[in-house]
Each structure stands twice: as structure tokens, then as C-alpha cells.
Structure 1
Amino acid sequence: MSFLPARQDFRRFWLARVMSFAGDQIAQVALVVMAAPEGPLATSMVLLALSLPRLIGPFAGALADMYSAKKIMVLTDLGQAVLFLTVALIPFHLAVNIPIIALATLLNTLFLPAGRRSIPAMVASAELPKAFAAMAICFNAGFAAGPLLGGALLAVVDARAVVLVDALTFLASIALIVRLDLPKTPRAEEHRVGYGRTLLVGFRELLSNRALGSVALGLFSVVSFASMTTASLVFLARDDLHGPTWSYGALIGVYGVGMLLGPAIFLGRARIRNPLRIWRIGEGLFGVGAVTLGVAPWLGTAFVSQAVAGTGNGIGNVATDLVVQSATPEHMLGTVSGVTMSIPFAASSLAYLVAIPLIDALGPRWVTVISGAGVLLVVIVIHALTVDSRPVEALDETA
């Protein structure tokens, strides 16, 4: 695994996340299959239980700034193992399983900012780009391959057995995380500031720091526009590109490949002098990909557009993590990471509601073009906001 940073702690953490995230992806397929006999409402409720708790990210981040990140990761993994073991063992019942799944998602949301704030302690500062690229490859590979693996497992074993596999991955993750040698969280030993104050200070930093505020604004705006393309894609493939039944899935797959290729550009870089500039380049590529997708005359060109868009988004995601790590004071890192982690879920939920009437009124081509053009406009605005800001200069010195 030469693409990983050299320190053993990070390699343990990365392997723990690979196993856990792969388990989550295959379990999601199994949970939907378990709910399907109850009807569309049941499957929708499962998907909501897997997504809505993500919105508490800022509150989860504040906890990571106050308490031991290592303890948070171990306890939340243990809780998820118990919850998914319960789902695997009891008969599926909507009133019982939905709260369990939602609670497991809540625990997963508590884990994420604790993990993110721990990464700088596991690698040398010059290896942060490589570390976040490796994490992005882990998540994007799971996103692309997880559903396929879940489907393959369901062909040979029961859905409950697949969920049981997910529960076991959390135990494997704990076995690796307990071996991490992490420093004490700055406020883990003395809680004189308090939870509410910690949360408030983190939000204040996000709003007062131009680099962080601009990236937060850009992330919300980009995801809002990008989600309109997501909502339009199935109709674009079917009605405008006249693609076969497999074309929609293939377009998503090509996008996923781009999401894997994008972070790979960071693996050979010892330093990233200005993550904000890289963020603008990445999201600009996504915007170009979406606009060209909207005007694509045939399916082949649509595949190219999706590859460009996915690559740009993969670059932008790693650059976002680098901006947050570089520009955030250490004692606020959990809260700020939690906020940025929740932004895509809030933005996409809003965008899906807006996209439905727009697709009916304008058609998927126009909505996709508007989506890409909107992302390009956001990149221009963020460039104007940050081109002369001192926080960007600070990033040059610390990244």
C-alpha cells in the first residue's frame, strides 16, 4: 500500500475505515432489500434513516473538540456493532428497525468528525494531501463497489447475514483503532468552556475566517447545483440520450471512476501550496462536465462528461478537507469538520425538492446545463471572495 502515508497509525486507521465503510455500503443494499416487501414507504423510510441523522454533524463535531477522539470512535463503533447485530437477529418490523437504523447512523455521524480531527496527528504535515487523498479513494471506492458487492452477497446469502457482516466490520475497526497512539484532545481533560460555548466558537470561526466561510458557502452552493444533475440524470439518459436500460447505471459508474481518479493527483504531491485554488479547479471541472453533459448529442459524449465531472468533484472533495485542516485552529477542528460534513446533506435535500418541478417545466437537459453553469458561477464568486484574503496566504504557509 505504497500510496498510503508511511506512519503505521494512519495505515491502521485507513484499514479500519475501509472495512467499516465497505460494510456500511453492502448493509445499505441489504436493509433496502429487507424493507422492500413492506412497500415503497418502508424503503424510503430506511433511506431517510440512513441520511437525515447526518444533519447533526455540527453537534457531533463539538463533542470531538471536547472529548477524547479515540474514545468517541471506539464507543460509536461498538454501538453500531450492537445495533446492526440486533437488526440481523430480529425479524424486520418497520416500527422497530427504523429507529435502530437511525440511531446507528447517528453514531456513525458522531464518529466522522472525531476521525477527521485525528488524521493530522497520524501523519506528517507534508503528507496531509496524500492522507486525505487516500481517505477519499477509500470512500469513493466503497461508494462505487459497495452496492455491487452487496448485490453479489445477496445472491448467495440471506440479507440478515449481510447485515451481520457489517456488524463484524465494526468489531474489526475497534481492534485497529484501540491501537492508535493519539494525543489528548485539547479540551478532553478540562471542560471549562462547555458544549454550547464550544459549538458557538466553532460557528463563529467558520463565519469570521474568510477561507473557511467561503469554502462552506461554496460547498453548499456547489452541492445544491450538482444535486440537480443527479436528479436529472435518469431522465436525461432515457429521454434525451435514448440510452438503453443499462445506460443510467453506467453513467453513474463512470462518474464514480472519475471520483477515484481525482484524488489520485494528490498522492504524488508532497505539498499543496493553495488548497483553495485546487478546490476552484476541481469544482470548475465539475461545472464543465455538467454543462457538456447537458448538451451532449449522444451517449458516448455523456460518458466523457461524467468522467470529467466525477474527476473534478473528487479533486474538490480532497481540497475541501485540506482547507478545513489548514485554516481551522486545532481546538475547533471537530466542530468545523462537523459543519462541513453536514452541508452536502442539507444542500442535496433542498436541491432535490427544487429539481422536481424544474425537470417537469424545463426538461432534464436544461436543468443539467443550469446545474453546471451554476457551479461555474459559484467558482467565480468564491474566487472573487478569496483571491486577496489573508487566510488563503496562510494556507500557502501551512499546507
Structure 2
Amino acid sequence: MGYKELLKINSYRNLFVGQVLSDIGNWLTYIIIISIFTYQWNLPPSKLALLTIFISIPWIVLSPFSGIFSDMFDRKKIMVVCDFLRALLVILPIFFQSYWAILLIITLIHSTAVFFEPSKQSAIKELVPEQGLIKANSLSQLSSELSKIVAPSIGGLVLFFGNTSIAFILNFICFLLSASLLLKLPHLKIQEQPKKEVKVNIHGLLSGFKFIVSRSKLLLSVISMFFITFFIFIIDSFIALWSKGVGIPSSLFPLLISAIGVGSLIGAIVVGKFGERISPIKLNLFSILVVGLLFSIIGLSGELFELHFVFWLCIWSIIALVGSAVPISFAVVLQTQTPSHLMGRVYSASESITNIPMFIAPLLGAWLINLIGIGYVFLSVGFFFVLFTTIGLFFVQNRGAHDKQTELDVV
């Protein structure tokens, strides 16, 4: 199934365009608020750090509950209600101009996003044939990466003219348009009815985690996603520090970041076009393996050799290009390994696990850099990626393809 055939599915096309609008709205909100905190209010680093923590709390705490709701109710209605709520929430900073009020608003916005995402992932599984899942998820990744380019551009124009209220109004419009498109979707009720009713209790909250543990490929994918998120967060905040250490001038650093963005965009397209030729779990592990090798090269730079800036642009572009396969393949594994009536809970459980690194990884990265230096941190991360994926590929190659059929035990 090609992109044209996929986008000819009216219901999926409405879902995709709605996602693009939601992604732009999410990133525009973040760009404007972090700009207000930094440039207008001159807040210290400790208060800026709290923004990331407040964003991550709903994803860790509320994800198991959002999965149950996604499996209990019409997923179309959940997505529409979430977008309407976000439309109302994003205009509140116009009227409440205090630090703690905005943190509360941001937390509420991301709380609604936590309930939106499991239903969106389940909707993709329901609306797209299995042979089109790799392309559908590559388009989702493409939407995410494009929003990181479009939203800062809009935000830059808004900040240039000095009226941040315009950005919040644009967000309001984005989420309303997204909700109007999602209203056109068919009702997304569960087709596979489990024998036991879904309930909001401890058993229901843990059912997604239990199912992940029961499926070897799914468990391996979640573990790999956890570790790559953990180690990426260790070094993500310190790319500028590495750049300075290898002699890249500050005037060229934005080009390095742009190269990462371009690589991610190209990667999403390439994976969508050719990713079906390899199984999703192997694609996931091979991608992490290549990223690990390139991180090792970065770690050795400055210690054993030096490279021209053009080579660094190429290396970081390739890292982004190859790395874009990781979330795409992870989403496909999740959708193909999970039955429809468990999709919300399993996706939410995976989100709870893979968002934990947001709390501890940056602090650990800072401590390790002070202890052994940034070059050896990159080298250590690269070595771990290579070791982990080698073991993972050996496991996938030698393990039988049969998983325990335990859906009824975890419902």
C-alpha cells in the first residue's frame, strides 16, 4: 500500500490532518511559553526545569487511566472531547499571566493529550489495513517532525511582532479545526469484545503492563524504547556542550540542529517507503545499532581525531535519519502485537514506562559529564546501544515466533 492509497481512505486522511493540526498546536504552545519564561520574564534555570517536569507528570501518572478509558468508550468521542478541551485551555494564558497558573494550564493541556494519544493509536490500527501501518506511522512521525519546524517559524513571527496572544488564538483555531475533522470519523467502538468488562481498578490499570510482559516481541520493543529514551535524554541537553568542545563555533550550531531536523524528516519518508521490507522489531534494533556506532564515533572525536564541520553535519543527519525508524517501528510492533480491545491500555502502559527517563536522565547526564567528560558519555551510550541491540537481535533470531495467547488473562 502506497501513500496515495493510504490517504485515499477518507477516515484516515481526516485523522492524519487532525493530527498535523494538533501537533502544530502542541509545539506552538511550548515554543511561546518557553520564550515568555526565558526572554520576557527572565526566569532562572530551576524554574525552566520545572516546565519539563510538569509536562512529564501527566504522561507517567495518568497514562494507565487513559488506556482504560480508550478501551471503554468510543475513541472518536474521546479524541474530539480532548481537542475541544485543549482549544479552551490554550487560550487561558492570555488571561492568567502568572508562572504557577501557566504551569497548571500546561499540566492540564498535557493531561488531555495523555487521553488523546491512546485513542489516536487505536484509531490508526482500526482505520488502516495491517499492510499500511508502517506508512501510517511514518506519516505520524513526519507530522511530529514537521510541527517542530512549522511551529517555531510561526512562533518566531509572533514574537517578532511582540503579541503572544496571537499564538494562543492560533492554537485555539488549530485544535478546533482538528476536532471538526475528527467529528467526521466513524464511531470507533471496540470490535473484539472481551469476555470480561473493562473496569477502572488495580487489575485494569495493570492489564496493559501484564500484556506487554506476556509478549516477547512487544516486551523487547518497550525495553529498547525505554533505554534509547533514557540514554538520548542523558545527552540531548548537552549537544551544544559537545559542539563547543569539538570546536564548532556558535554561529554554526543552529545549522547542526537544522541538519538533525532535516534528517528526521527524510528518515520518516524513507522508512515509510522501504520499511516494510524488514520486520518492525528488527528495524527497531538495527536502527539503534547504527545510532550506537555513530555515537561511538562522536565520543571518540576530540580524543583520537578531529573532523570537519561538514562531516559532523552528515553524521548528525544520519543519526536523525536512522533514529526516526525507532518510534515508527515501535508503533507498528505495538499495533500488530496488541488486540484492539487492549490497544489503549497497552499503549498507555508503554508510555508510562518510556517517559520515566524524563525525570532522571538529564541529571544523570550532567553528573556523568562532570565525572568522565562528555566524550566518554557519548562513547558509553554508543557502546551500550551496540551491546543491547546485538543481544536483542540474537534473541529475536533464535526465539520462536510463537507468543503465549494470554489476552483473556489480562483483560
TM-score (norm 2): 0.88
> How many residues are matched?
392
Equivalent residue number for residue 43 of structure 2: 39
Moved more, 48-57 or 313-322: 48-57
Cα offsets for 1:253-303 (capped at 9, x unmatched): 222222222222233359455211111121112112211222342333222
Is 2:81 the partner of 1:75?
A: yes
**Who is 1:162 aligned against?**
167
Specify the alignment match of 1:397 in structure 2: none
- Find the counterpart in structure 2 of residue 337 from structure 1: 347
- CA gap of 1:148–1:266, structure 2 versus 1, over 3 A, is same
> What is the deviation of 1:373?
1.4
Which 5+ residue runs of structure 1 have no aligned equivalent?
Answer: 395-399
The amino acid of 2:66's aligned partner reads: A
Note if 1:207 corresponds to 2:209.
no
Deviates more, 1:154-163 or 1:182-191: 182-191
Counterpart CA distance in 1 for 2:396 and 2:373 is: 35
Number of the residue aligned with 1:274: 279
The aligned counterpart of 2:325 is: 315
Conservation of the 8 A alpha-carbon contact between 2:293 and 2:382: yes
Larger CA deviation: 334-343 vs 369-378: 334-343
CA shift in 2, pair 1:135/1:159, >3 Å: same
Partner of 1:195: 200
Q: 1:217 to 1:367 in 2, by over 3 A?
A: same
Residue 320 of structure 1 deviates from its aligned partner by: 0.5
Matches within 5 A, 1:2-151: 2=4, 4-36=6-38, 37=41, 39-40=43-44, 41-55=46-60, 56-88=62-94, 90-151=95-156
Identity over the aligned pairs, expressed in percent?
20
RMSD: 2.4
Aligned counterparts of 2:118 and 2:213: Cα–Cα separation in 1: 19
Which stretches of structure 1, 4 residues or more, deviate above 4 A after TM superposition? 186-191, 269-273, 391-394
The one of 348, 352, 356 equivalent to 2:366 is 356
- Label 1:25 to 1:177 Cα distance change in 2 as closer, same or farther (>3 A): same
Could you list the per-position Cα deviations for residues 182-234 of structure 1 after superposition, in whole angstroms to 9, with x for gaps in the alignment? Answer: 43125899982312233322211101110111111111112222223313311
Do 1:294 and 1:365's aligned partners in 2 also have CA atoms closer than 8 Å? yes
Could you say if the C-alpha distance between residues 106 and 370 of structure 1 is closer, same or farther in structure 2, counting changes exceeding 3 Å? Answer: same
Question: Secondary structure of 1:180's match?
Answer: coil
Does structure 2 retain, via aligned residues, the 8 Å contact 1:258–1:309?
A: yes
Paired residues of 1:53 and 1:105 also in contact (CA < 8 A):
yes
Pairing 1:376–2:382 present: no
Q: Is the 8 A contact 2:74 2:187 kept in 1?
A: no
| SS of 2:139 mapped into structure 1 | helix
CA contact (8 A) 1:140 1:260 kept: yes
Query: Aligned partner of 1:14: which letter?
Result: F
Alpha carbons 2:208, 2:348 under 8 Å: kept = no
Measured against aligned partners, the alpha-carbon deviations of 1:39-96 in whole angstroms (never above 9, x if no partner) come to: 22443333333333222323322221122111111111111111112222x0411232
For 2:335 and 2:400, the matched residues in 1 are separated by 16
CA distance in 2 between counterparts of 1:113 and 1:99 reads 23
Task: Report the AA paired with residue 380 of structure 1.
Answer: T
Q: In structure 2, how many angstroms separate the alpha carbons of the residues matched to 1:6 and 1:359? A: 50
Write the distance in 1 (CA, Å) between the matches of 2:248 and 2:352.
Answer: 34
Q: Which amino acid aligns with 1:251?
A: L
5+ residue gaps, structure 2, are: 405-411
CA shift digits 1:3-47 (9 cap, x unpaired): 853201111111111111112212211112333316224433333
TM-score, normalised on structure 1? 0.91
